[in-house]
């Protein structure tokens, strides 16, 4: 496990989305060639609107054998199926509804029709993660996890100064007082996120610069949750020029 971290800076938001999409397609093809399947973790917000939509627009989209790709979620809002607040709904609009992914390979977190309570929904997803885990792991070793980062440094639904940030178990945590609506959410724990081979964090805009700078300067994850994200092989921050304003120059990589 190298825990290598890199920061790749792009001139603007549009270039950022297109670049991550191109790298994603290339890497997924490589992973499938190596092991005949690939697992991907999705989240909402900027990741969906920037990256997934760019993957869908790419001329290379159909070069991926999507039937060999499974999709999971880093977090989800515990609301009704089809609610506009659901990450999986937006992810579907941006990408999943347009590719040949198999229904059994789409591992959604439960909505309010599928679980009687937030706790039950968490237990269901924990069991699903465990069923697809390698060896004694509690969750799969995901190949690529795509995460956005909030202006406060939150990732998935792990928010600053909330107890969930420091919880190491179970793999799926409940939040009933999210500082961003809706209040009830499910989220992977940091250890579950960090069981990914590669974590790609996508940040755009000047409002993200302070959190990124703090995370790379060694801030604690309780204050800046993104600081606690470390993929098993690699952690890459894909950022636009505005978000990179407070990144030390020596941490900026010229290539992937």
* pTM, full prediction: 0.95
Topology (CATH level 3) of domain 10-230: Rossmann fold (3.40.50)
Q: What is the mean pLDDT of residues 129-157?
A: 96
* pLDDT for position 12: 94
What confidence category does residue 3 fall into, taking pLDDT thresholds of 50, 70 and 90?
low
Nearest CA to 254 out of 49, 70, 9 is that of 9
Q: What is the mean pLDDT of residues 187-213?
A: 96
How does pLDDT run across 11-43, given as a tens digit for each residue? 999 999 999 999 999 999 999 999 999 999 999
Question: Would the pLDDT of 9 be above 70?
Answer: yes
More confident residue, 247 or 187: 187
* pLDDT for position 209: 95
Q: What is the mean pLDDT of residues 31-60?
A: 95
Question: Would the pLDDT of 142 be above 90?
Answer: yes
Q: What percent of the chain has pLDDT over 70?
A: 97
User: How would you label 136-163 residue by residue, b for 16+ Cβ within 10 Å and e otherwise?
Assistant: eebbbebbbbbbbbbebbbbbbbbbebe
Question: Would the pLDDT of 255 be above 90?
Answer: no
How does pLDDT run across 166-189, given as a tens digit for each residue? 999 999 999 999 999 999 999 999
* pLDDT for position 249: 77
* Summary mean pLDDT of the chain: 94
* pLDDT for position 1: 42
Question: Would the pLDDT of 250 be above 80?
Answer: no
Q: Give domain limits for the chain.
A: 10-230
In what helix (H) or strand (E) does residue 57 lie, and over which residues does it extend? helix 53-57
Q: What is the mean pLDDT of residues 72-100?
A: 97
Q: What is the mean pLDDT of residues 107-133?
A: 98
* pLDDT for position 85: 96
Q: What is the mean pLDDT of residues 79-95?
A: 97
What confidence category does residue 49 fall into, taking pLDDT thresholds of 50, 70 and 90?
confident
């Amino acid at each position: 496990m190298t825990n290598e971290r890199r920061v790749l800076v792009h001139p603007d938001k549009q270039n950022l989305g297109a670049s991550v999409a191109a790298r994603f397609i290339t890497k997924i093809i490589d992973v499938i060639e190596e092991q005949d399947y690939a697992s991907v973790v999705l989240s909402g917000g900027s990741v969906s609107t920037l990256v997934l939509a760019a993957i869908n627009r790419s001329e290379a989209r159909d070069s991926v054998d999507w039937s060999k790709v499974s999709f999971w979620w880093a977090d989800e809002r515990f609301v009704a199926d089809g609610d506009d607040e659901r990450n999986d709904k937006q992810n579907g609009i941006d990408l999943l509804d347009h590719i040949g992914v198999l229904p059994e390979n789409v591992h959604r977190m439960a909505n309010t029709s599928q679980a009687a309570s937030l706790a039950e929904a968490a237990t269901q997803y924990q069991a699903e993660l465990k069923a697809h885990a390698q060896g004694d792991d509690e969750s799969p070793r995901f190949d690529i996890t795509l995460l956005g980062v909030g202006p406060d440094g939150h990732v998935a639904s792990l928010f600053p100064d909330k107890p969930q940030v420091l919880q190491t178990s179970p793999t799926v945590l409940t939040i009933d007082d999210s500082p961003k609506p809706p209040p009830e959410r499910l989220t992977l724990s940091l250890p579950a996120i960090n069981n990914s081979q590669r974590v790609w964090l996508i940040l755009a805009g000047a409002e993200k610069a302070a959190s990124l700078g703090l995370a790379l300067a060694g801030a604690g994850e309780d204050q800046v949750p993104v600081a606690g994200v470390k993929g098993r092989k690699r952690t890459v921050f894909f950022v636009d020029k505005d978000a990179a304003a407070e990144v030390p120059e020596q941490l900026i990589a010229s290539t992937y």
